[in-house]
Amino acid sequence: MTNLQAIFLGVLQGITEFLPISSSGHLVLAERFFHLEANLSFDVFLHLGTLLAVLIYFRTDWWRMLRAQSPQDRRLLFFLILATIPGALAGFFLESMVENLFRQPAQVAFMLALMSLPLLLAEVLGPKEGLLSRLRLPQALAIGCAQGLAVIPGTSRSGITMATGLLVGLSREEAARFSFLLSAPIIAGAGAYETLKLFRHGAGLDTSYFCGFLAAFISGYLVIAWLLHFLRRHTFYPFVVYRLLLAGVVYALL
């Protein structure tokens, strides 16, 4: 892979990681239709770029939670830790199966269409007015369990967690904020695990990894800022339409 191709995939990752349209699904499609060769380790390294974007954009929130300045901060940090567990377990036990069985364009297109339904239902049924300060443990665990489904490309980690956040009562912006914060621990764990595997097998990191990482960081940071602003006045319906259209295009091309 050339550095230019890695930058392209990094920008794609940064944009799609935080929009509810599936970053892993888009990477699978880009690798197939643009004839780019990447693997799960490279995909995870791109996720590390978006992890840095989350850490820096929400640095004030992380610092406040780690310092435990108030009971609300301590509770939110506790909820994030517990909500991370289902997704971490799903990733650990299902990684090999996903790598072998769910990285085909037809499967990605199916999941893009299928998992647009939770977003649609969330917009129709969700109260969309709750604040993170009023989040309760069962609600946080529901969002965490939903995150476990995101191991399958085309699902969208941000999409399924935001949809669940809406369904348990959070506003669009607060659901997105919790989804972004929740991404940090699981991306960090997956990134550390895959990096250790690379070095254990004697593989080095060439410049394409770092180009992709930087591109994912910059684009991810910008998308976080844009989406939080967008969701203050708009719905998730445009993303539902996009997912369905993309699934249709993929099937047509196949």
Q: Domain-by-domain residue ranges, the chain?
A: 3-253
In contact, 11 and 215? CB cutoff 8 Å: yes
Helices (H), ranges, 39-148:
40-57, 59-67, 71-101, 105-114, 116-125, 137-147
Higher pLDDT, 101 or 155: 155
Range 215-222 average pLDDT:
97
**pLDDT confidence bin for 96, thresholds 50/70/90:** confident
Instruction: List phi, psi (to 5°) of 127.
Output: -65, -35
Q: Which of 29-38, 126-135, 140-149 has the lowest mean pLDDT?
A: 29-38
pLDDT, averaged across the chain: 90
**pLDDT confidence bin for 38, thresholds 50/70/90:** low
Tell me 236's DSSP state: S
Question: Reduced to 3 states, what is the DSSP secondary structure of residue 212?
Answer: helix
